[in-house]
């Protein structure tokens, strides 16, 4: 039995959830989103809660049970509160700036990196080295942060690069004379 799947998803006040077969859509103060689930699970709405249960006793249904519940939780949380990721840039001369719908990164390459900000994300830069990314869709938000981090991942000797706030980078000892 799925430990994640058997928990219900609380729908906060101000969020409207509509179930149409395998498509579940939610509308809240941060917009409207929908997620398409598989036929292996069925979703019911009861008393301000969403309940997910497998539609048949097969192995795939049990696997998709917890995944579907997590997707629904992210959907409801996204339209009600949203998600926030914070990134830090470390290194001499490394900095970031937002210019319209583009994130401009100077990360020690011979050129600036102009990276377009996806629709639905808010990006703000504080003190040139701290990036705050907000959005309602957790998947788009995580993908954007992963792609920005991939331009200059933190290296283990001096720790220079782009990292998520709170990320631990194992440091190595340099050359010895």
How is residue 141 annotated by DSSP?
Answer: H
CB 125 within 8 A of CB 98: yes
- The predicted-structure confidence for 134-145, as pLDDT tens digits, reads as follows 999 999 999 999
pLDDT of residue 177: 78
Shared fold status for 9-80 and 83-164: yes
How is residue 84 annotated by DSSP?
Answer: E
Record the pTM: 0.85
Chain CA centroid to CA 4, Å: 19
pLDDT of residue 1: 63
- Per the CATH hierarchy, to which homologous superfamily does domain 83-164 belong? Ribosomal protein L6 (3.90.930.12)
Report domain extents, the chain: 9-80, 83-164
Detail the DSSP E strand segments found in 37-176: 41-46, 49-54, 83-90, 95-99, 102-106, 113-116, 121-126, 130-135, 161-164
Computed over every residue of the chain, the mean pLDDT equals 89
- The predicted-structure confidence for 66-103, as pLDDT tens digits, reads as follows 899 899 999 999 999 999 999 999 989 999 999 989 99
79, HSE (Cβ side, Cα atoms, 13 Å): 23
> pLDDT band at 62, cuts 50/70/90?
confident
How is residue 46 annotated by DSSP?
Answer: E
- The predicted-structure confidence for 13-55, as pLDDT tens digits, reads as follows 888 889 888 899 999 888 898 989 888 889 888 888 988 888 8
pLDDT of residue 9: 86
Q: Which architecture, in CATH terms, is 9-80?
A: Alpha-Beta Complex (3.90)
- The predicted-structure confidence for 96-130, as pLDDT tens digits, reads as follows 999 989 999 998 889 999 999 998 899 999 889 99
């Amino acid at each position: 039995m799925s430990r994640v799947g058997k928990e219900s998803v609380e729908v906060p006040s101000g969020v409207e959830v509509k179930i149409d077969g395998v498509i579940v859509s939610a509308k809240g103060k941060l917009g409207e989103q929908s997620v398409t689930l598989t036929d292996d699970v069925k979703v019911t709405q009861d008393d301000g809660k969403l309940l997910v249960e497998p539609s048949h006793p097969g192995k795939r249904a049990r696997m998709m049970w917890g995944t579907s519940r997590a997707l629904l939780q992210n959907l409801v949380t996204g339209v009600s509160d949203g998600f926030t990721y914070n990134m830090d840039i470390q290194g001499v001369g490394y900095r970031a700036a937002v210019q319209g719908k583009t994130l401009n990164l100077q990360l020690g390459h011979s050129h600036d990196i102009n990276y377009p900000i996806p629709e639905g994300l808010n990006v703000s830069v504080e003190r040139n080295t701290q990036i705050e990314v907000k959005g309602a869709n957790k998947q788009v938000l995580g993908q954007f942060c992963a792609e920005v981090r991939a331009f200059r991942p933190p290296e283990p000797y001096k720790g220079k690069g782009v990292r998520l706030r709170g990320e631990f980078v194992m440091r190595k000892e340099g050359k010895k004379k």
